[in-house]
Structures are given as C-alpha cells and as structure tokens.
C-alpha cells in the first residue's frame, strides 16, 4: 500500500455546515490542509443531508451567527450523524460554551483562529469520540418513563411534549417510544403518519441493532424520532418483554434520551421498561381517585424494588381550581411534587391539530414548564456523564 493511501486514511473526514463571518476563509484553509478531507459543505443543514447521513464522517463543523446555542441546527445534524460536532462562531455570548458543552457539542471555537488550532480541536474531538466508543460506551441514553395508573392524566401529552422539547430546544438525539401498545396515540398527537411501528420491528427477522432500529423510526420535522405503537390492538402481545428489553438497550446506544409513553397498567412490557428506567415521571392530578391509584402504584413500585430516588412526582393541571391543593396531594402520597405542569387551553387545541403544544406556542405557561422539565432531565444526565468521566479518569491515574 502506498504512503499516500495510508495518509488519506488518516485524514479526518469533515463536513461543514452553517455560516458566520470568517467561515469561508477557514473552510478554504481546511480544504487544503493535509490532515483534513473536507467532504463538502452546505450553509443549510438539510442541504447536506446525504453527505451528513452517508458520508462516514469523523466530524462536523457547524458555523453560527447566533450568540446562543443553535439548537435547531444541532438537532438536525444529530438526526443525520453521530459524528462529533464542533461549533464555530464569530462572536459568542458567555453562555454559549456552557450551553454547547451541556448539549454534547465537542468544542466551541470563536473566530478568528489559526487554522492549526482548528485542526487540533477537530483531531481532539475525533479522538475522544473514538476512545468513548472503544470503552464500549458509545452513547448511554437516559430512559425517562412517563406513567400514571389512570387514563387521561396527561401521560401522552407530557411524553410527546417532553420528547419534542428535548429534541428541538435542547438539541438532543431523542426518541419517543409509544408503549401504550394497544391504544397508543403518541404518533397522532405528534401529527406523524408512520410507515412502520414497533410491531413491524419486533416481527422482523434477525438481530436488532442501531442501524435496524433506525429503519423503523418515523422522523418528526422538529428532529424527534418516533417509534409508534402497533396500529392494531391485537398486535400488542407480540411485543414481548425480551424483544422490548433488547430494543431499549439498542435505543440507549443510539439516542441521548428515550421518552417512553405508557398505558395505565403494570404489565410485562412495563416491567421490562421499569427495569431499565433511569427516571420515572409519575403523573398525578388534583383528583381523589387518581391520587388513590398513584398511592397504590407507589406501593407496587416498592414491591418491585424500584429505586425510590428514580421516581419523580409530576402534578399535571396543577393550577386547576378543583378544591384541592398541592400540599394535600403531597400529604396523601407522603412524597413531594417534583414538577408542576399547568392546565392550558393550548394543550387540547394542539392535540386536535396534531402539533405538540411546545411547538405551537413556546411562550405559554405549559410550554415553559415542559421545556424546563426537559432541560432539567438532560442537564442532570450531562452532569452524571461528567461525574462518570471524572471517576474513570481517577481510576486510571
Ligand atoms: N396540562 C394540560 N392542560 C390542558 N389539557 C390537558 C393537559 N394535560 C392533558 N390534557 C388533556 O387531556 C387529554 C388526555 O391527556 P392524555 O391523552 O395525555 O392522557 P393519557 O394519560 O395519555 O391517557 P391514556 O391513559 O388514555 O393514554 C388530552 O387530550 C389533553 O387535551
Ligand atoms: Mg396516552
């Protein structure tokens, strides 16, 4: 093999998206840099879809004129490739770096920069990505299960909006998994018409892996991936615990966050999900029968030895004037409410239009509280990842 070929092989396959002052010049310098193979560039992320998805890229360089995190572009890029993303900006707010690192961006570079510095940062990003994969880690997405023992409490509304917020506003690679297997309506609330569902996935022959999973996912324009429930209720029983267990493990490798919508029962698939759940959002409302059943659920979870620190109580329609207050709910359940979601007319309107309320109007109280919840969930995850990295480094030293 000739020396040139070996060198070629070691060049970093890079794709450039976006634009900012000085980016054209930087791109030109990178295109002629011996260590970089600039596969292509596109100002518009969608314009680079083919190369981003199929280009076997080592890194993506995204330029932005915004001073805040370009979450939309980031989630669009993430929808195509898992390659590390570096952000280039000509001016940045002090929050940009922090937000970007929280969102899993490999590095942020403020122009002007010497091209050598940029190449160094790109190399560093590809190396840490590789080490990560070699450590057998890859991703380890967080599984957030939304449950309530009562119908109509708002599980699907919460799950769909939360997953949407994680994808659209936090720039995460997010999956919405509908495990309300008989009567799931996550897809209809998202306004997507799926070609394939979880049923098609579990009956397909062969071993499940990330690539295969990707083939059964329906994409929402906001960047969210959706794996809908079976179209016919009788197909639900084919989604066995074993299949579901494997599906969740594989989903963890490909997504940052997996939001699971459920039915109001503790059946086999639910137990398999609980086994792998990092955070259980237990929904309640200001309603006596619901509270009674939530109390019973807490007892069941204890019997199942589900770790109590993973259960977070969510009070939906928290502002409803129904002669009951949050503190009465907390007293009855002997547990504090972690999150409150207000009742909002925008929600049923959004449901009937098949457009998540957080997308329809970001300024409502409902949107604000769900976005806050999404942020808390993904930030806690980022902090846990950092801790793990730190401990691993400590163990190596
Ligand atoms: N915070 C809210 N504000 C206003 N309306 C709400 C809110 N949460 C839920 N709703 C309304 O309640 C209806 C039922 O909610 P949702 O379908 O999410 O419940 P669910 O717990 O998933 O029910 P099921 O167990 O039947 O699947 C929704 O159509 C929505 O219009
Ligand atoms: Mg539902």
CA distance 256 to 139: 7
Q: What local confidence, expressed as pLDDT, does residue 397 receive?
A: 62
Q: How far is the CA of 333 from the centre of ligand 2 (A)?
A: 23
Choice from 147, 190, 347 to test ligand 1 binding pocket (greatest atom count within 8 A of CB): 347
Instruction: State the pLDDT at residue 151.
Output: 96
User: Which residue, by CA, sits nearest to atom 8 of ligand 1?
Assistant: 154
Write down the pLDDT at residue 294: 98
The CA-based angle 47-48-50, given to 5 degrees, is 110
Question: Given this model, what pLDDT does residue 12 score?
Answer: 93
Quote the pTM value: 0.70
Ligand minimally distant from the alpha carbon of residue 352? 1
Atom of ligand 1 nearest to the CA of 346: 4
Residue 175 has a pLDDT of: 98
Residue nearest to atom 1 of ligand 1 (CA): 343
Query: Tens-digit pLDDT profile for the chain (397 aa)?
Result: 444 444 445 799 999 999 999 999 999 999 999 999 999 999 999 999 989 988 788 999 999 998 888 999 998 998 888 889 999 998 766 678 888 887 889 989 999 999 999 999 999 888 765 544 444 445 689 999 999 999 999 999 999 999 999 999 999 999 999 999 999 999 999 999 999 999 999 999 988 999 999 999 999 999 999 999 999 999 999 999 989 999 999 999 999 999 999 999 999 999 999 999 999 999 999 999 999 999 999 999 998 889 999 999 999 999 999 999 999 999 999 999 999 999 999 999 999 999 999 999 999 999 999 999 999 998 876 666 666 666 666 666 6
Q: b/e per residue, 258-296, with b = 16+ CB within 10 A?
A: bbbbbbbebeebbebbbebbbbbbbbbbbbeebbebbee
Alpha-carbon dihedral sign for residues 20, 25, 31, 37: negative
* Residues with a CB atom less than 6 Å from ligand 1: 148, 151-157, 180, 264, 316-317, 341, 343-344, 347-348, 351, 366
Query: CA separation (Å) from 223 to 79, 171, 175?
Result: 6, 9, 9
**So what's the pLDDT on residue 94?**
67
C-alpha 153 to ligand 2 mean position (Å): 8
Helix (H, G, I), strand (E, B) or coil at 269: helix
Closest ligand 1 atom, residue 151 Cα = 25
pLDDT value at residue 395 = 66
* The ligand 1 atom nearest the CA atom of 342: 1
pLDDT value, residue 135: 44
- Ligand 2 centre to CA of 183 (Å) is 8
């Amino acid at each position: 093999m000739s020396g040139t070929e070996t060198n070629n092989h070691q060049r970093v396959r890079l794709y450039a998206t976006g634009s900012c002052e000085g980016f054209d010049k930087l791109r030109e310098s990178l295109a002629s840099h011996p260590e970089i193979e600039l596969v292509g560039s596109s100002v518009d992320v969608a314009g680079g879809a083919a190369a981003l998805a199929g280009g076997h890229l080592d890194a993506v360089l995204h330029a932005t004129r915004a001073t805040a995190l370009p979450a939309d572009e980031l989630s669009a890029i993430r929808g195509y490739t898992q390659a590390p993303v570096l952000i280039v900006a000509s001016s940045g707010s002090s929050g940009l770096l922090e937000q970007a690192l929280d969102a899993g961006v490999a590095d942020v570079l403020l122009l002007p920069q010497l091209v050598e510095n940029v190449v160094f940062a790109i190399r560093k990003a590809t190396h840490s990505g590789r080490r990560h994969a070699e450590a057998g880690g890859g991703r380890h997405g967080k599984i957030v299960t939304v449950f309530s023992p009562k119908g109509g409490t708002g599980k699907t509304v919460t799950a769909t909006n939360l997953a949407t917020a994680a994808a659209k506003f936090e720039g995460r690679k997010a999956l919405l998994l509908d495990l309300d297997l008989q009567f799931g309506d996550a897809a209809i609330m998202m306004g997507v018409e799926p070609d394939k569902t979880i049923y098609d996935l579990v009956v397909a022959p062969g071993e499940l892996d990330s690539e295969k999973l990707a083939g059964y996912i329906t994409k929402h324009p906001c960047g969210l991936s959706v794996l809908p429930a079976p179209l016919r209720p009788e197909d639900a029983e084919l989604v066995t615990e074993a299949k579901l267990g494997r599906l969740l493990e594989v989903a963890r490798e490909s997504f940052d966050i997996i939001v699971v919508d459920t039915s109001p029962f503790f059946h086999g698939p639910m137990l398999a999900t609980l086994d792998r759940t990092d955070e259980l959002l237990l929904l309640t409302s200001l309603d006596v029968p619901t509270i009674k059943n939530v109390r019973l659920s807490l007892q069941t979870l204890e019997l199942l030895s589900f770790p109590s620190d993973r259960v977070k109580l969510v009070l939906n329609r928290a502002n409803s004037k129904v002669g009951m207050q949050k503190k009465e709910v907390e007293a009855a359940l002997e547990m504090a409410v972690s999150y409150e979601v207000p009742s909002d007319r925008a929600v049923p309107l959004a449901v009937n239009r098949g457009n998540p309320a957080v997308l329809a109007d970001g300024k409502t109280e409902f949107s604000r509280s769900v976005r806050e919840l999404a942020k808390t969930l993904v930030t806690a995850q980022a902090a846990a990842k950092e801790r793990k990295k730190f401990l691993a480094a400590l163990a190596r030293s």
